[in-house]
C-alpha cells in the first residue's frame, strides 16, 4: 500500500512540476482517486483526497463561484496593499519590451528557443563602413594629443565624422542617414572606444538618447524632413538636456519648466511655451546647434486643454533662440569630450517645436524611456567591451614580455589569477553585448535587459581596468603617447554614472521593473487592479491570479526537486556546457519562487528594501549573463579551445547567483520564511565555488600566446599593423619575444657553462655571437625581440615645458578661475 501512495504522490507532484492547468489537474486527481479506491479501498487517504476534490478543486473550476467568493475579495485586498506608483514610474514600467529575461522569470526557460534566436550579422555596407571610414578614423586618432594638448578632437577628425555620416548611423536612409543595425553601431563604437573615450562619446551620443533617436520614432514629418538630413550630414550638432542640479535620476523632481502662454515671434502673436531651465552634464552642449530639452509643462490658464499639469515634455530648440545660454564646459575625468551646462531664461518657443508636435505634450518621459531602453543597450556596453578587448589583448602579451626574477611575470600565480579574470570577464561582457543588441535588431526595446547589460558590463569593465593596471604597474600609471591604458582607466567611472547611475540601476530598476514587466502574471494583476470597471477587473484579475497560484506551487516543487537532483532532470541541449544549462534552469525555478514569496510577504515594502531588491536583481542578471554566454559560445561553433573561458564565465555566474540567494536569505526580515526558502533552494547546502586556480592557469596561457582564442576575444578592436598603433607594437613584441626564447635558452646554458661572458643581456648576446655560440641569424632574432620588448615596456617622460602645455593655459585658467 505504501508503494501505491508513493506512486500517487509522485504523479501529483509531476503534474504540479509541469504546471498543468487547474481543470486538467482536477480531472487527473479524480481519475487517481477512482484508481486508489479500486486498489486500496476506502481509507483515510482516499477520503481526504475526495474532500480536496469536492471542497476545493471542483468549486475552483466553477468560475462564477470563484469570482464571487474568492477573486472579488482578493482583488479588494490587492488594491489595498498594492504599492503607490508615481506617474514617471508608471511610464517607465510601461516603456520598452521584455525579451529573454521574461523566459528566465518563468522558471523553465526553453534553451532551444534561446539557441534559435537570430545571430547578429553585419551587412556588406556595414562591414565596408567599418573597414573604410571607421578604420580611417582610428588611424587619425591620437588620444594623447586629444586629451593633453587640444582638449578636443582635431578639426580633421570633426570633418571626417560629419562628412562620413558618423552622426547619422541610426537615421533612416530616406532622410540621409546610414540606417545601420544596432549590431553595426555597437561594432563601430567598440572599435573607437578602445582608442579614445572622447572620440567614442562624440560618436555615441548623437546616435543614442537624443534628438535624432526621438525624431525618428516620434517626430512629425515636417520635423523629420527638416532636422534628420541636417543631423545626418553634421550640419546640425545635437545635444539632449535632461539632468539638472535638483533632478538627476529622479526625473519627478525636475524644476525645469515651461508655461503655455501667448507670445510674439517674428512680430506675430502665437500660442507657445515660455521656458526656464538649468541643465548640466550635457554632452555636446558647448558646440550644439540644436538642443533637445526635457521639461515639465504647465497650462495654468488652460489655453492648451483642461489639464494644468501636462507632464514631462520634450522639445527642439535652436541654439540661437533668445534666452539660451550655452558654451561653457565641464571637464569629466580628463576625457575632454564636449560636455557642459545649458541655461535658459524666459525662452519662448512655438508649440510645434515639441517633438512630435502638440499632441506629444506631456508624453516626454515615456518617449525617453522607450529610446533609453534601446540606446542604453548599444552605447555603454560597447564602451565596456572596447576597453576590455584592449586589456585582454595587451595584458597577456605584456605578462609574457615583461620579465621579473628571470621569467615572464605571467608565470606567477598572482598574475595568472588576474589574467583568468580578464579573459573570463571579457568573454562574458562581449556575450552580453551581442545578446542585447541582437534583441534590439529584432525590433525589441529591452528595458530590463539593457539595464542588466549596462550595469554589469560597465561594472565588470571597471574591475578589469584595475586588473590591467595591476599587471602593467608603472607602465600603466605613467601617462603619455605610449600609454594605452591610462585614459581608459581614468574615465571608467563616467560609464558608471550615465544613462541610469549604476547604484540606482541595481537597487531599483533591474528587479523593480523586472518584477512587474518580466513576471508572467504580476503586470496583468496590476493592470486589472487599476481598472474602474469592477466586472472586467475581476475577470482579468481572476485569470491572472489563479495562473499565478499554479505557477507559484509549481516553483515550490521545481525548486526543491531540481536542487535535490542538481538539475539532472532538466534535458539540456547537446553540449559540453550542458551542466550550465541544467543549473541555470534549477536556479530559474528558485528565483521565480523567491521573487513571488518576497512580493507576497513584503508587498509594497519590497520597493523600499532596496538591498533585497538589488540581490533579486543580481540573480536575474547573472542568469541573463549566463544565458548570453552560452548562446555566444554556441554561435561561435562551441570551439573547444575557448572552453576555459566558458567554464570561467559559467562558474563565476553560478557562484554569484548562489551567493546572491544566500545574502538575500541572510538579510530577509522574516526568519521563518528565510529558513523555509533556504531548505527549498539549498536542501543539500551550497556547493558552487569561484573559478579554480587551474582554470586561471589555462586562460593565462591562452592570453600569453598568439592563440586563436586570444584573437577571438580581441576581434573588433583596432589592431591594424601600423607603427603608431600601440596594440600592434605589443603584438609585435610578443611574436618576436616568443621567437627569441630558444636563443635565450642557449645563452642561459652557455653562461652557466662559462662559454660566454657579460653583465647585461646585450653583452652576453654579443659574446655568444663572437664565440660562435649563436649564428648571425639567431643574434638578429634576439636583438629584434629585445628592441621590440624594450619599446613596449618603456614609459613616456617629458620636460617641464611639455607638461606645462602652454597651448592650453588659457583654457585651464578659465576653467579653474586662475590667471
Cell numbers describing residue 673: 520564511
Would you call 531 helix, strand, or coil by DSSP? coil
Q: Where are the beta strands (DSSP E) in 130-267?
A: 238-241, 257-265
Among 534, 539, 593, which Cα is nearest to 561's? Answer: 593
The secondary structure element, H or E, covering residue 312 is strand 309-318
Among 386, 449, 606, which Cα is nearest to 102's? Answer: 449
* The residue to which cell 545649458 is assigned: 342
DSSP 535-589: HHHHHHHHHHHHHHHHHHHHHHHHHHHHHHTTTTTS---SSTTHHHHHHHHHHHH
Q: What's the rounded Cα separation, in Å, for the pair 306 and 328?
A: 40
Among 487, 488, 657, which Cα is nearest to 567's? Answer: 657
Instruction: Give the contacts of 167 (CB within 8 A, at least 6 positions apart).
Output: 161, 203, 206, 207, 212, 231, 232, 234, 237, 238
DSSP 132-168: IIIHHHHHH--HHIIIIIISS--HHHHHHHHHTTGGG
Backbone angles phi, psi at 268, to 5 degrees: -115, 140
Cell numbers describing residue 773: 655560440
Residue 591 class from Cβ within 10 Å (0-12 exposed, 13-18 middle, 19+ buried)?
Answer: buried
Among 467, 462, 458, which Cα is nearest to 395's? Answer: 467
Instruction: Give the contacts of 775 (CB within 8 A, at least 6 positions apart).
Output: 769
Would you call 412 helix, strand, or coil by DSSP? coil
State how far the alpha carbon of 195 is from the alpha carbons of 135, 391, 487, 522, 615, in Å: 12, 12, 9, 45, 35
CA atoms within 13 A on the CB side of 799: 2
Total length of the chain: 819
Cell numbers describing residue 322: 533668445
The DSSP call for residue 724 is T
Among 97, 83, 726, 160, which Cα is nearest to 436's? Answer: 97
Among 472, 435, 467, 461, which Cα is nearest to 197's? Answer: 461
Residue 10: CB atoms within 10 Å: 11
Determine which one of 499, 525, 659, 744 is catalytic.
Answer: 499
The secondary structure element, H or E, covering residue 675 is helix 671-681
Is-catalytic flag, 499?
A: yes
The residues annotated with a catalytic role in the active site are 499
Amino acid at each position: 500500500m505504501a508503494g501505491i501512495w508513493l506512486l500517487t504522490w509522485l504523479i501529483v507532484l509531476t503534474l504540479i512540476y509541469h504546471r498543468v492547468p487547474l481543470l486538467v489537474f482536477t480531472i487527473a486527481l479524480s481519475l487517481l482517486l477512482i484508481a486508489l479506491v479500486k486498489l486500496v479501498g476506502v481509507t483515510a487517504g482516499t477520503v481526504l483526497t475526495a474532500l480536496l476534490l469536492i471542497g476545493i478543486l471542483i468549486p475552483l473550476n466553477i468560475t462564477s463561484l470563484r469570482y464571487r467568493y474568492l477573486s472579488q475579495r482578493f482583488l479588494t485586498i490587492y488594491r489595498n496593499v498594492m504599492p503607490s506608483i508615481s506617474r514617471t514610474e508608471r511610464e517607465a514600467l510601461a516603456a520598452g519590451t521584455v525579451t529573454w529575461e521574461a523566459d528566465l522569470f518563468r522558471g523553465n526557460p526553453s534553451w532551444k528557443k534561446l539557441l534559435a534566436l537570430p545571430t547578429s550579422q553585419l551587412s556588406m555596407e556595414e562591414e565596408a563602413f567599418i573597414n573604410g571610414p571607421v578604420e580611417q578614423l582610428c588611424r587619425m586618432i591620437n588620444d594623447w594629443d586629444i586629451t593633453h594638448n587640444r582638449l578636443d578632437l582635431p578639426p580633421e577628425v570633426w570633418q571626417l565624422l560629419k562628412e562620413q555620416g558618423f552622426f547619422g548611423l541610426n537615421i533612416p536612409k530616406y532622410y540621409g542617414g546610414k540606417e545601420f543595425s544596432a549590431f553595426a553601431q555597437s561594432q563601430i563604437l567598440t572599435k573607437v572606444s578602445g582608442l579614445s573615450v572622447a572620440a567614442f562619446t562624440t560618436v555615441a551620443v548623437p546616435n543614442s538618447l537624443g534628438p535624432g533617436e526621438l525624431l525618428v520614432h516620434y517626430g512629425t514629418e515636417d520635423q523629420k524632413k527638416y532636422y534628420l538630413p541636417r543631423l545626418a550630414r553634421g550640419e546640425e550638432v545635437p545635444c539632449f538636456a535632461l539632468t539638472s542640479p535638483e533632478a538627476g535620476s529622479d526625473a519627478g523632481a525636475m524644476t525645469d519648466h515651461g508655461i503655455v502662454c501667448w507670445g510674439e515671434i517674428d512680430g506675430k502673436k502665437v500660442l507657445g511655451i515660455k521656458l526656464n531651465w538649468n541643465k548640466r552634464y550635457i554632452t555636446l552642449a558647448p558646440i550644439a546647434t540644436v538642443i533637445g530639452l526635457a521639461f515639465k509643462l504647465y497650462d495654468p490658464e488652460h489655453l492648451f486643454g483642461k489639464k494644468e499639469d501636462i507632464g514631462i515634455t520634450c522639445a527642439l530648440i535652436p541654439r540661437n533662440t533668445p534666452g539660451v545660454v550655452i558654451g561653457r564646459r565641464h571637464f569629466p575625468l580628463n576625457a575632454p569630450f564636449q560636455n557642459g551646462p545649458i541655461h535658459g531664461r524666459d525662452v519662448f518657443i512655438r508649440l510645434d517645436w515639441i517633438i512630435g508636435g502638440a499632441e506629444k505634450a506631456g508624453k516626454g518621459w515615456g518617449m525617453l524611456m522607450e529610446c533609453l531602453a534601446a540606446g542604453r543597450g548599444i552605447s555603454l556596453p560597447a564602451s565596456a567591451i572596447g576597453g576590455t578587448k584592449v586589456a585582454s589583448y595587451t595584458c597577456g602579451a605584456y605578462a609574457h614580455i615583461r620579465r621579473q626574477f628571470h621569467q615572464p611575470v605571467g608565470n606567477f600565480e598572482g598574475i595568472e589569477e588576474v589574467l583568468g579574470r580578464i579573459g573570463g570577464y571579457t568573454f562574458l561582457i562581449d556575450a552580453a553585448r551581442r545578446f542585447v543588441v541582437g534583441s534590439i535588431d529584432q525590433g525589441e526595446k529591452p528595458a530590463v535587459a539593457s539595464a542588466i547589460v549596462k550595469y554589469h558590463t560597465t561594472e565588470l569593465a571597471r574591475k578589469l581596468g584595475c586588473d590591467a593596471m595591476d599587471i602593467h604597474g608603472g607602465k600603466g600609471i605613467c601617462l603619455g603617447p605610449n600609454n594605452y591604458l591610462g585614459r581608459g582607466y581614468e574615465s571608467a567611472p563616467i560609464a558608471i554614472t550615465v544613462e541610469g547611475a549604476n547604484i540606482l540601476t541595481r537597487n531599483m530598476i533591474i528587479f523593480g521593473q523586472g518584477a512587474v514587466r518580466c513576471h508572467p502574471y504580476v503586470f496583468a494583476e496590476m493592470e486589472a487592479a487599476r481598472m474602474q470597471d469592477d466586472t472586467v477587473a475581476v475577470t482579468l484579475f481572476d485569470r491572472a491570479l489563479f495562473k499565478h497560484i499554479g505557477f507559484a506551487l509549481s516553483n515550490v516543487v521545481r525548486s526543491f526537486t531540481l536542487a535535490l537532483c542538481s538539475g539532472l532532470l532538466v534535458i539540456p541541449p547537446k553540449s559540453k556546457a550542458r551542466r550550465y544549462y541544467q543549473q541555470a534552469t534549477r536556479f530559474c525555478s528558485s528565483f521565480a519562487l523567491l521573487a513571488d514569496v518576497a512580493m507576497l510577504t513584503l508587498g509594497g515594502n519590497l520597493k523600499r528594501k532596496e538591498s533585497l531588491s538589488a540581490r533579486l536583481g543580481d540573480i536575474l542578471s547573472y542568469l541573463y549573463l549566463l544565458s548570453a554566454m552560452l548562446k555566444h559560445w554556441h554561435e561561435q561553433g562551441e570551439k573547444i579551445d575557448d572552453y576555459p573561458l566558458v567554464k570561467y564565465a559559467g562558474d563565476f555566474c553560478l557562484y554569484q547567483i548562489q551567493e546572491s540567494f544566500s545574502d538575500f536569505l541572510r538579510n530577509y526580515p522574516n526568519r521563518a520564511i528565510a529558513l523555509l526558502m533556504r531548505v527549498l533552494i539549498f536542501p543539500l547546502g551550497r556547493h558552487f565555488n569561484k573559478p579554480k586556480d587551474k582554470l586561471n592557469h589555462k586562460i593565462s596561457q591562452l592570453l600569453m600566446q598568439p592563440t586563436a582564442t586570444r584573437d577571438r576575444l580581441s576581434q573588433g578592436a583596432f589592431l591594424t599593423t601600423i607603427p603608431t598603433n600601440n596594440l600592434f607594437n605589443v603584438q609585435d613584441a610578443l611574436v618576436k619575444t616568443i621567437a627569441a626564447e630558444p636563443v635565450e635558452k642557449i645563452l642561459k646554458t652557455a653562461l652557466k657553462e662559462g662559454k660566454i661572458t657579460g653583465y647585461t643581456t646585450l653583452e652576453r648576446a654579443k659574446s655568444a655571437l663572437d664565440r660562435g655560440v649563436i649564428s648571425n641569424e639567431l643574434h638578429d632574432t634576439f636583438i629584434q625581440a629585445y628592441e621590440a620588448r624594450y619599446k613596449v615596456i618603456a614609459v613616456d617622460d617629458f620636460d617641464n615645458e611639455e607638461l606645462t602645455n602652454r597651448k592650453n593655459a588659457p583654457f585651464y585658467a578659465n576653467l579653474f578661475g586662475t590667471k
